[in-house]
């Protein structure tokens, strides 16, 4: 009988216990992989936003307070500003009541200049300019709502009892918010008569001029009826993440507790298994099995349990989160598990197996032969 055969046979002695342990590890690794994915997604969004040459201007009182349309021309005259895009946010529900869509009214030409890294194809951008109800949306919206280019898409807005009847003409492959749909500003004005904006996005000439542009923008409207605050785009993203700071701290804490739980579960399983086989270990020593080989055999059982559960849990997280899962509105609406996250989960399960099985294996392997043979479980 080979060592591998002996390990497998020992694991299948108590099949129910083995299966329950593997499932417990799988559930813990599913949670661990999911938590790591959430943190990685937020970190990626924050890092990506820091490379954008954009400044966001909004009313000091609240982002929901509209600013006059005249602000756009005055912002465009600030040194260092290359283009200005006004935006009106209109959150609403699309085809499903549990999927909140971040519709935003923008001018297509201004959008093409300011949102330079998240453009549709040239043909789709031309259609966005021509179509009165034309709209371009993040790829996740198309996938979740089962849409294709050319479809009519109704969005029922929350702030006002309006129904936006949009025609989807383009797909955005890159977007900070995967639930966003940009539509033609002229259509919004026809429906509401509004000419103001909730936010103005300024494309600046370089990252170095951002502080000067922010200061100039706030000074420009200091004496107006609607004073403004200006901040880099990444600061707005960071403020969202800071607002979720308590949640993120909880997420990290839960991740640590998950790993501790796995270790305790597997450690208890291995302690029971080793205790049941104390007499058997004594017999193997009598037959000439060295202490090192016995430790390897017992540790192999622990590692196989955790790696099997880790593989099951990590792959389940990959399938569930990357194919069809939606966390609602915002950056976390489209989670994608990376291959390195799955590998990290497997490595974590390997370490847990070694730690959890280390003490029971060491104690059993170091027990004198006479004590092992005399011990009755």
Express as a percent the part of the chain with pLDDT over 90.
29
Residue range 62-80, pLDDT digits in tens: 888 889 999 999 999 999 9
Express as a percent the part of the chain with pLDDT over 70.
72
pLDDT at 232: 87
Q: What is the mean pLDDT of residues 282-296?
A: 64
Which are the contacts of 247, defined by CB distance < 8 A and separation ≥ 6?
A: none
* Bridge pairing between strands 228-232 and 199-204: unpaired
Angle at 50 between CA 45 and CA 54, to 5 degrees: 110
- How far apart are alpha carbons 20 and 25 in whole angstroms? 9
Instruction: Tell me if the pTM is above 0.85.
Output: no
pLDDT at 377: 47
Query: Tokens for 368?
Result: 């004198």
Indicate if the pLDDT at residue 136 is higher than 80.
yes
Indicate if the pLDDT at residue 90 is higher than 80.
yes
Of the pLDDT bands very low, low, confident and very high (cuts 50, 70, 90), residue 284 is low
- Per DSSP, the three-state class of 89 is strand
Average per-residue pLDDT for the chain: 79
pLDDT at 228: 94
Q: Radius of gyration of the chain from Cα atoms?
A: 29
In this predicted structure, which of 2-6, 37-41, 119-123, 346-350 has the lowest mean pLDDT? 2-6
Q: Note the Cα 376 to chain centre separation in Å.
A: 52
Q: 28 versus 56: which is more confidently predicted?
A: 56
- How far apart are alpha carbons 364 and 346 in whole angstroms? 27
């Amino acid at each position: 009988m080979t060592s591998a055969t002996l390990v497998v046979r020992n694991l299948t002695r108590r099949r129910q216990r083995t299966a329950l342990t593997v499932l417990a590890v799988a559930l813990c690794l599913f949670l661990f992989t999911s938590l790591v994915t959430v943190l990685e997604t937020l970190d990626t969004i924050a890092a990506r936003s820091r490379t954008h040459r954009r400044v966001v201007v909004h009313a000091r009182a609240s982002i929901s307070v509209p600013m006059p349309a005249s602000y756009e021309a005055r912002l465009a005259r600030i040194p260092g500003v290359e283009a200005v895009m006004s935006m009106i946010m209109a959150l609403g529900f699309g085809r499903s009541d549990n999927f909140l869509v971040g519709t935003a009214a923008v001018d297509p030409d201004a959008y093409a200049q300011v949102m330079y890294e998240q453009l549709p194809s040239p043909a789709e951008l031309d259609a966005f300019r021509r179509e009165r109800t034309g709209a371009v949306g993040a790829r996740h919206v198309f996938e979740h709502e089962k849409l294709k280019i050319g479809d009519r898409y109704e969005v029922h807005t929350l702030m006002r009892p309006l129904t936006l009847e949009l025609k989807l003409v383009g797909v955005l492959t890159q977007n900070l918010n995967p639930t966003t749909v940009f539509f033609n500003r002229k259509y919004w004005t026809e429906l509401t008569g509004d000419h103001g904006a909730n936010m103005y996005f300024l494309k600046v000439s370089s990252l170095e001029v951002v502080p000067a542009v922010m200061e100039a923008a706030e000074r420009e409207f200091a004496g107006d009826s609607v004073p403004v605050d200006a901040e880099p785009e990444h600061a707005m993203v960071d403020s969202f993440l800071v607002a979720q700071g308590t949640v993120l701290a909880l997420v990290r804490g839960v991740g640590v507790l998950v790993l501790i739980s796995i270790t305790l579960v597997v450690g208890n399983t291995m302690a029971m298994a080793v205790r049941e086989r104390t007499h058997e270990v004594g017999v193997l020593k009598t037959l000439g099995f060295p202490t090192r080989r016995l430790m390897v055999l017992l540790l192999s059982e622990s590692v196989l349990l955790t790696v099997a559960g880790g593989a099951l849990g990590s792959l389940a997280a990959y399938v569930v989160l990357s194919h069809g899962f939606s966390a609602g509105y915002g950056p976390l609406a489209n989670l994608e598990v990376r291959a390195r996250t799955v590998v990290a989960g497997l490595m974590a399960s390997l370490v847990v197996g070694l730690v959890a099985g280390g003490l029971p294996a060491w104690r059993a392997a170091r027990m004198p032969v006479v004590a092992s043979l005399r011990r009755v479980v």
